[in-house]
Amino acid sequence: MTYRELATKKPFIVNKNLGSALEVEPEDLTSTNADGEPVVIPTQKQKYDFDRNGWLLIPNVLSNEEVLEMRDFCERLNSDPTSIAVPERGGLGGPLQKLVDHPVVVGFLNEFLAYPPLASEDCYGFRLEETEVILGTDKHDVEAQTINNRGSGLFRLPGDSHIYRCVPGRGWSGLTRAIWEISDVNETTNDFQFISGSHKSAYPLPENVIDMDTPLWETYTCPQGSLFLYTESITQKNKRTVSHHSEINRVQVSYLYNTVASRWSNWMPNQQLLETMPAKRQTLFRDVYAGGNVVNGDFGNRTSAYPIEI
């Protein structure tokens, strides 16, 4: 007997119906960023790795010239903030602003975070929650270890935001963080650790794992200009350190993203700076609601990303 091979061509989603194939693909969403650059669609390998591990490292995204300009800006923020206009003092200032909707970030978030009905060519289907510029020194002692999240994102209740959902053929990450490394990173300078795959864990984190020197805890190394993306629902911890002097050897910029219809923090960018941004970039900060919250889209005629008729 010949058996027909089972194949899933499109994810099957239950929305405002009893289920149907997903019609809208990530590449059908916002196809350019605020600077008019085409977004970069993640490869099948990258999508598989992020869904499997809960994190993805993309090395050498930025050029050396971009890195030098951004590092200089970040060091000025630390050593001479008065040389920078008040609205620009932060992770959205100067050359850093283009990182928030970099083509690689937009393409990735279209796949793992954007809500299709709230995306169009004029607005993003996700929003920016907060940003931070982080500078590290080269001599420090470990003071303590802090667990930031214990994982189990598949089982978090709606409203938590630290969730991870998946169906055959598609993953969705609630709170998603993008870390831009503006300097080389090695195992000594990286104080962030995580447990791969724990965003889907069905069992609680054993207490004796938290402080153990176990291979379960991983970190990453990368050259300057690299991008590290991870779901906030992964088990993660940071080593709190005491610095002995102020010589900076690591610079990173962190951006936290969420779906348009959900909010985790009350942070908002400087209003003066916001008003100077391109219109599409401003949509990263629009009001948090779902019904009709789309710019020049067809939400009014399509209440979901799935076909009206089955």
**What is the pLDDT at residue 161?**
84
pLDDT tens for 20-46 read 666 777 888 999 999 999 999 999 999
C-alpha atoms less than 13 angstroms from C-alpha of 74 in its C-beta half-sphere: 25
pLDDT more than 70, % of the chain: 83
**Helices (H) and strands (E) in the chain — how many of each?**
6, 12
Q: pLDDT value at position 80?
A: 93
Stated as kind and residue range, the H or E segment containing 255 is strand 248-259
Of the pLDDT bands very low, low, confident and very high (cuts 50, 70, 90), residue 154 is confident
Give me the percent of the chain exceeding a pLDDT of 90. Answer: 60
**Confidence bin at 106 (pLDDT 50/70/90):** very high
Least confident of 34-43, 73-82, 88-97, 300-309: 300-309
CA atoms within 13 A on the CB side of 189: 21
The whole-angstrom separation of Cα 131 and Cα 177 is 10
Q: Which two tokens stand for residue 58?
A: 């993309």
If one compares 40 and 7, the residue with the highest pLDDT of the two is 40
In tens, the pLDDT along 189-212 reads: 898 999 999 999 999 888 888 776
Average pLDDT over residues 58-69: 97
- Averaged pLDDT for residues 209-228: 89
Instruction: Give residue limits of the domains in the chain.
Output: 31-301
Q: pTM, whole model, 2 decimals?
A: 0.89
**Mean pLDDT, to the nearest integer, of 50-67?**
97
Q: Is residue 144 predicted with pLDDT exceeding 80?
A: no
**Mean pLDDT (whole number) for 130-147:** 70
Residue 301 CB neighbour total at 10 angstroms? 7
Question: What CATH topology corresponds to 31-301?
Answer: Jelly Rolls (2.60.120)
